Amino acid sequence: MKIFKFGGASVKDAESVKNVSMVLESQGFSKCLLVISAMGKTTNELEKVVELYFKKDNFQTEIEKIKRKHIEIAEGLFPENHAVFAEINLFFDDIDSFLRRNKSPNYNFVYDQVVSCGEMISTKIVSEYLNEIQFTNQWLDARDYIKTDNSYREGVVDWAKTEEFISNLNKEICYVTQGFIGSDENNFTVTLGREGSDYSAAIFAYCLNADTMTIWKDVPGVMTGDPRKFKDVTLLSNISYEEAIEMAYYGASVIHPKTLQPLQQKNIPFYVKSFVDPTKEGTKVGASDKNQSEETYILKEHQTLLKISTRDFSFIAEDHMSLIFGYLSKYKIKVSLMQNSAISLALCLEDKFNNIDELNEELQKVFRTEVVKNVSLFTVRNAKMDHIDQFYQEKSVLLEQISKNTLQMVTQ
> Strand locations in 260-388, DSSP E?
270-274, 283-285, 296-310, 334-340, 344-350, 367-381
> CA dist 171 to 74, 175, 211, 265, Å?
29, 9, 11, 20
Are residues 13 and 148 both part of a single domain? yes
57: in domain = yes
Distance CA 169, CA 308 (A): 51
Side-chain-side CA neighbours of 95 within 13 Å: the count stands at: 28
User: Which residue among 175, 200, 217 closes a domain?
Assistant: 217
- Where the chain has pLDDT below 70, the residues are none
Where in the sequence is the domain holding 34, given as residue range(s)? 2-217
Are residues 193 and 312 both part of a single domain? no
* Phi, psi values for residue 150, rounded to 5°: -105, 35
| pLDDT at 256 (0 to 100) | 80
Name which of 275, 286, 404, 288 is nearest 12 in CA terms: 275
| pLDDT at 133 (0 to 100) | 96
Residue 6 marked as a ligand binder: yes
Domain of 311, CATH number, reads 3.30.2130.10
Q: What share of the chain is helix, strand, coil (3-state, %, to 5)?
A: 40, 25, 35
Domain of 148, CATH number, reads 3.40.1160.10
| pLDDT at 117 (0 to 100) | 97
Residue 228 marked as a ligand binder: yes
Residue 69 marked as a ligand binder: no
Residue 119 marked as a ligand binder: yes
Number of structural domains found in the chain = 2
H or E element, residue 146: none
Residue 5 marked as a ligand binder: yes
- Residue 190 DSSP symbol: E
Name the burial class of residue 384, with classes exposed (0-12), middle (13-18) and buried (19+) by CB atoms within 10 angstroms of its CB. exposed
191: in domain = yes
278: in domain = no
Distance CA 411, CA 399 (A): 7
Are residues 300 and 213 both part of a single domain? no
374: in domain = yes
Are residues 23 and 160 both part of a single domain? yes
Are residues 305 and 157 both part of a single domain? no
Are residues 178 and 78 both part of a single domain? yes
| pLDDT at 297 (0 to 100) | 92
Q: 242: Cβ–Cβ under 8 A, 6 or more apart, which residues?
A: none
Distance CA 27, CA 54 (A): 45
Q: 215: Cβ–Cβ under 8 A, 6 or more apart, which residues?
A: 5, 7, 198, 201, 255, 270, 271, 272, 273
Q: 322: Cβ–Cβ under 8 A, 6 or more apart, which residues?
A: none
319: in domain = yes
Are residues 210 and 327 both part of a single domain? no
Are residues 301 and 153 both part of a single domain? no
User: Which residue among 183, 217, 251 closes a domain?
Assistant: 217
Digit-coded pLDDT (tens) for 106-144 = 999 999 999 999 999 999 999 999 999 999 999 999 999
- Residue 291 DSSP symbol: -
pTM, rounded to two decimals:
0.90
Contact assessment for residue 304 and residue 351, using Cβ atoms and an 8 Å cutoff:
yes
348: in domain = yes
Are residues 144 and 29 both part of a single domain? yes
| pLDDT at 395 (0 to 100) | 81
33: in domain = yes
Distance CA 406, CA 345 (A): 20
| pLDDT at 288 (0 to 100) | 83
| pLDDT at 231 (0 to 100) | 87
Are residues 183 and 74 both part of a single domain? yes
| pLDDT at 293 (0 to 100) | 86
Residue 8 marked as a ligand binder: yes
| Three-state DSSP state, 401 | strand
* Phi, psi values for residue 66, rounded to 5°: -65, -40
Are residues 344 and 212 both part of a single domain? no
Are residues 57 and 189 both part of a single domain? yes
Residue 361 marked as a ligand binder: no
> CA dist 364 to 17, 311, 323, Å?
52, 10, 12
Name the burial class of residue 51, with classes exposed (0-12), middle (13-18) and buried (19+) by CB atoms within 10 angstroms of its CB. middle
290: in domain = no
User: Which residue among 217, 243, 266 closes a domain?
Assistant: 217
